[in-house]
Structure 1
Amino acid sequence: MLSAARISAIALTAAVFTATAAPAFAAGSAAPTPGIMGLDLPSATLSGAAPTAGASAAPSASASGAASASASASASASASASASAPTSAAASAAPLPAGLYGATSPTYDAVFRQGLSLMALRAEGVTPAVSAVSWLTGQQCADGGWESYRADPAKPCTPSQEDSNSSSMAVQALVAVGGQDAAVSRAVAWYRKIQNRDGGWSYNPGTASDANSTGLAVSALEAARTDPGTVVKDGRSGIQGLDSFQLGCSAPAAQQGGFAYQPSGSGKLVANDAASAQAALGAAGGFLPGPGATGPAATGAAAATPSADCSDSKQAAAQYLAKRIAAGGAHISAALAGASAAPDYSSTAWAALSLADDGWSAPAASAVQWLRENGEAWIQGQNGVPLSSALALLILDARATGLNPHEFGTTDLVAQLIAIGPAPAATPAAVPSTPAAAANVAAKSSGKGLSPWWIFAAVLVAAIAGGTLFSYNRAKGKRS
């Protein structure tokens, strides 16, 4: 008979495996403020020992019942992730906003997933519905930023609850779709206004800077054709703010080039994979949707891996990610304290984007190939409901490495994303033009996908046999 603790672990594992739970940032770093964003869902926190060199920190999860109580009892490190999942019966029953991508609760990640979805579809030649773009611009606050989600856009925003991560996705999406210069200009002014004195940015204005938020802010500014080196507060630029989180030549070799989420209480930096995966894109001057691959996916000896000097911020960051991917067997792994390492899908996807943008085609291609072969359960999320953020990230990954997102394993990623959003204004000839048609294509392409009951059964066996696994993202949502 299973103990209550084991049942709690199994419940948490199920949430994690189906992408409704995610890793925390540094257990030993300053606690992030509520709601750091990554991909679809709220989080409660679990404690864990400080991560080993290069490891992601302890996971955070949105879990109910015994698992939630267990998490609360051991909470000591805050998290960041997201994985679309309703947080209550009321939330799941509420109608979704018209124009929004995704079929899960919008409460914690609506703006973030909308931005990613718009960028991914635009990159594939799809002209999004006017309602999809107007929904995003309608969420913008009067001062130029975005909250994670506003159920009633007529009500004014709360400045302290505005979300720099979601705002970054919104800015990059509006640049990608075009014709939104006024909204983008207001957002740039907002980023200037909320910049911290150390040159960086926090998730919520007025709190401590962190590497993820700073990296995403830098990418948003780059997309908006604003040099982050010229965005300065008290003599410190955005680039200097981002550099302050990176471990240099004096760090242990395994951590050189990586980014800490935040310094520890003593000021020590410990490389964190999730932080590094997103910060590296900004450090390289990159932004989404990225330039795309210039040819077929590079694999094996045909794709040379650049060498890097630890004093070269951009290349050292890429080398750190390449080493972490290689160490995990073509993906990034992370572990809950006391449990075996498990795949971190979101960090792997972000790392691949950063590596491809910086010209490290071989490790990027190997990571995306691994996601192609192993990412179905992540895509389907909780209860088999596709996660728009996961689909969008994988579309961008496929594009960056020369793979076909319409034949991503058994999945047509583009059709699945169109199926859970408003009908596009225009599509290429080979792309379904309505959600219904897209759903039909997606159902055929995903016929070999895993059912949610099979996924839960697999998770149950893994939890009993090997301890608690945890998955991926940076979860957006409440913090305990």
Structure 2
Amino acid sequence: MTTATARRTAVRRAAAVLAVSAVLGAAAAPVASAATTPPPATPLPSGLFGTTDPAYDGVWRQSLALLAQDTAGLKPAGKAVDWLTAQQCADGAFPSYRADVSGACAAKLPRDSNATAAAVQALTATGGAEPSVTKAVGWLKSVQNADGGWSYNPGGASDANSTAVVIGALAAAGEKPEAVTSAKGGKSPYDALLTFARPCGGKDGGAFVYQPAMPGAVADSTAAAVVAARGDGLAPKPAAASGSAAKGAACDKAAKDLEGAAGNGAAYLTAALAKTGHLLTAPMPGAEDSAPKPDFGNTADAVVALAVQGRTEQAGKSLAWLEGNAAGWAKQSGPAAYAQLIFAARAAGGDPKDFGGTDLVAALTATGPAPEKAASASASGDEKKKDEKKDDGPNMWWIIGAFFAASAGAGFLFSGRRKPRA
């Protein structure tokens, strides 16, 4: 997943922090996206990807950047990996970002399940940080909710995006998500994920909502859940174009299990993308132009979701739209945006090194420390060697874009995978 946006449009993930108090209903001011956030007043660490203020998305964007480089067959710079591991707290959790890593994490520093799950996926892929991964997985298990899912910050109600990205982390670390059950209730992450699925018919039929009481931007949460339902993470390999693609585009009212719900989620995304090839996002609060704009991050996440479901026709059409239109968005938004496009290209059979004329891998690398060298085929086995020859590179959650909590009764906007983050 992710699982958690997108995704999301500073990018599925230039994330906005949704504090526990906001989740519980307190008013919160909108958080600026990474694309519009000014550079920080103090110099950034040399190992960090991106130049915008990392306060809300530092760990997220770093994790996606490392993961994308790995899928492209590159070995990330040691100082980039070291920067990420240094962000971890003694309890195993990762915050969204902490500027001072010379001491212990403050008790009041919010722990971030999405950042932790993304870091687990990145550090597992790059290798050499097993103790950090083990501690992070242990922390994630310790904050699992009774329904089997996770919230953005511990203590809140479970949401589809957070649950999805944690499923991806558990799978990456060698765990069986279905066997990770809550201490109270004995529920698995898959049990939780199914509770976010909407029945066919009516508004958002077949989609996965962020939370039942707070639907949010359902394309974002749907894309994350569809990927996680297969036990996949942020950078999954594509599935064969067979079974799920052959089921057609209609929502299956008879579907009762998670596999069926994921198929319905893919059908929802297919329908949402069919007319223009891309998703739309509502304007930012207070924007002069009230017309919806293309949602690049969630469209990329939707491409990944359809590709892993074997729905290659619509995935290919939407990937082609991204190839013709998303380069400017990625350049403005930064490392996580490039990573999202790389994941989409890898999943749907595109070439991330020639993405509508843009070399996404080179563009991503230019936002951070240069990789040490190409990953050797022997380091990852014959399977990775085969994948590199086939894909010549990489594949939302998204990143997570932006979370907005309004005053009681005003509603809530979840846009971006996320999900956050840029």
One-letter amino acid matched to 1:388: P
The equivalent position to 1:124 in structure 2, one of 58, 72, 76, is: 72
Question: 1:31-65: CA deviations, max 9, x gaps?
Answer: xxxxxx93325489xxxxxxxxxxxxxxxxxxxxx
Q: How does 1:40-189 map to 2 (within 5 A)?
A: 40=14, 42=16, 82-87=33-38, 92-157=40-105, 158=107, 161-189=110-138
Secondary structure in structure 2 of the residue aligned to 1:406: coil
Distance between the aligned counterparts of 1:43 and 1:232, measured in 2? 27
Question: 1:419 maps to what in 2?
Answer: 366
Aligned partner of 1:278 in structure 2 is 224
SS of the equivalent of 1:378 reads helix
Aligned mates of 1:123, 1:81 — CA distance in 2: 30
Tell me the distance in 2 between the aligned counterparts of 1:304 and 1:215: 22
Q: Which moved more, 1:108-117 or 1:350-359?
A: 350-359
Q: CA deviation at 1:306?
A: 4.0
| Distance in 2 (alpha carbons) for counterparts of 1:196 and 1:138 | 27
Of 337, 340, 346 in structure 2, the residue corresponding to residue 390 of structure 1 is: 337
In structure 2, the partner of 1:319 is: 267
CA distance in structure 1 between the partners assigned to 2:101 and 2:36 by the alignment = 22
- The reply to whether residue 351 of structure 1 matches residue 315 of structure 2 is no
Question: 2:195 is matched with which residue?
Answer: 244
**Percentage of identical aligned residues:** 41
Determine which of 178, 181, 186 is the counterpart of 1:229.
178
Counterpart of 2:270 in 1: which secondary structure? helix
Deviation at 1:181, TM superposition (A): 2.1
Deviation, 1:309, is 3.0
Matched to 2:151, the amino acid is S
The one-letter amino acid paired with 1:284 is R
Tell me the equivalent position of 1:467. Answer: none
Residues 105/221 of structure 1: CA separation in 2 closer, same or farther (3 Å cut) = same
Alignment size in residue pairs: 356
In our comparison, the structure showing a higher alpha carbon Rg is 1
Counterpart CA distance in 2 for 1:379 and 1:106 is 17
Q: Aligned match of 2:315 in 364, 367, 379?
A: 364
What residue number does 1:52 align with?
none
- Partner Cα distance (1:417, 1:124) in 2: 11
With over 3 angstroms needed to count, the CA separation of the structure-2 counterparts of 1:320 and 1:199, relative to structure 1, is same
Cα distance in 2, alignment partners of residues 77 and 105 from structure 1: 20
CA distance in 2, matches of 1:287, 1:81: 27
Match of 2:356 among 404, 409, 421: 409
CA separation of 1:293 and 1:227: change in aligned 2, threshold 3 A: closer
Stretches of structure 2 lacking an aligned partner (at least 5 in a row): 1-5, 19-25, 377-413
Judged with a 3 Å threshold, the aligned counterparts in structure 2 of structure 1 residues 85 and 109 are, in CA distance, closer, same or farther, namely farther
For 1:259, the equivalent position in structure 2 comes to 208
Tell me, yes or no, if structure 1 residue 288 matches structure 2 residue 234. yes
Q: Helix, strand or coil: the match of 1:220?
A: helix
1:363 and 1:232 map into 2 onto residues whose CA distance is 35
For residue 309 of structure 1, the aligned residue among 227, 252, 256 is 252
Shift in Å, 1:77: 8.4
When normalised by structure 2's length, the TM-score is 0.76
CA RMSD between the two structures: 3.2
Shift of 1:122: 0.8
* Structure number with higher relative contact order (C-alpha < 8 Å, ≥ 6 residues apart): 2
CA pair 316-292 structure 1, distance change in 2 beyond 3 A:
closer
Are residues 305 and 331 of structure 1, via their aligned partners in 2, closer, same or farther at CA, if it must alter by over 3 Å? farther
Cα distance in 2 for partners of 1:306, 1:95 equals 53
Letter in 1 for 2:319: V
Per the normalisation by structure 1, the TM-score is: 0.67
Whether contact under 8 Å (2:114, 2:165) holds in the other structure is yes
Query: Residues of 1 paired with 2:192 and 2:221: CA distance?
Result: 14
3-state secondary structure, aligned to 2:103? coil
Distance 1:256 1:79, change over 3 A: farther
Distance across 2 between alignment mates of 1:168 and 1:190: 10
**Helix, strand or coil: the match of 2:196?**
coil
Q: 1:79 to 1:215 in 2, by over 3 A?
A: farther
CA shift digits 1:265-295 (9 cap, x unpaired) = 8xxx68712221222211222113212588x
Deviations 1:277-331 (A, max 9, x none): 222211222113212588xxx9xxxx9654363411221221111111114x111
3-state SS in 1 of match to 2:75: coil
CA deviation after TM superposition for structure 1 residue 261, in Å: 1.1
Post-superposition CA distance 1:186-218 (Å, at most 9, x none):
111111101112221110111121111111111
Q: Which of 379, 383, 394 pairs up with 2:330?
A: 379
Cα shift readout 1:307-357 (whole Å, capped 9, x = no counterpart): 363411221221111111114x11111334993332111111111112212
Q: Secondary structure at the match of 1:314?
A: helix
Give structure 1 stretches of 5+ with no counterpart: 1-18, 24-36, 45-74, 430-469
**Amino acid across the alignment from 2:159:** D
AA matched with 1:150? R
**Structure 1 letter corresponding to 2:327:** E
